[in-house]
Amino acid sequence: MALKRMVVELGMGTDLTGADYTKAAIRALKDALWHNSLTIANAVGLSPHDMHVKVLVGVPKPELVDKAAVAATLPYGKSTIEVVEGGLEIMNDEGTNLTLMANAAAIVYLDIPEKKQWP
């Protein structure tokens, strides 16, 4: 068996006034996940709990994201969280507060059998 990429879901999340990187990252992941209902695992005879989900989050300051809190957003499956530099910080006119934008990709893999080789 081998992990096969089945789905890529994309999302964007913000924290408009608090500059909370984790909050923006979680909102980006929710945006990616909450607009669909995946039935692909069941279609190939597996459970949604068998999914392997790699989450890639882009924010300006990756070290400020709580990866465990982001992982807790996933309803099922085994997760890997990677946070990289990306997203946006938009300072207000007074220079006293910023809006934070995060981007997220949830990449879903399933461990499915290889194609049968014919002689």
The per-residue pLDDT for range 27-40, each reduced to its tens digit, is: 999 999 998 888 88
pLDDT digits (tens, 9 = 90+) for 54-111: 999 999 999 999 999 999 999 999 999 999 999 999 999 998 899 999 999 999 999 9
Per-residue CA distances from 39 to 42, 47, 81 (Å): 5, 9, 22
User: Is 114 inside a domain boundary?
Assistant: no
Angle at 111 between CA 40 and CA 55, to 5 degrees: 75
CA 70 from chain center: how many Å?
8
Q: Is residue 78 part of a domain?
A: yes
Give me the CATH number covering residue 10.
3.30.1330.20
For residue 91, being part of any structural domain is answered with: yes
Whether residue 110 lies inside any domain: the answer is no
Residue 111 in domain: no
The parent domain of residue 53 ranges over 2-101
In a domain, 44, yes or no: yes
Number of folded domains that form the chain = 1
Angstrom distance (rounded) from CA 117 to CA 23: 47
- For residue 43, give the 3-state DSSP assignment: helix
Is 27 a domain residue?
Answer: yes
What is this structure's pTM? 0.89
Rounded CA-CA distance 44/86 in Å is 35
Q: Calculate the CA 72 to chain-centre distance.
A: 11
CA distance 28 to 31: 5
CA distance linking residue 67 with residue 62, whole number of Å: 10
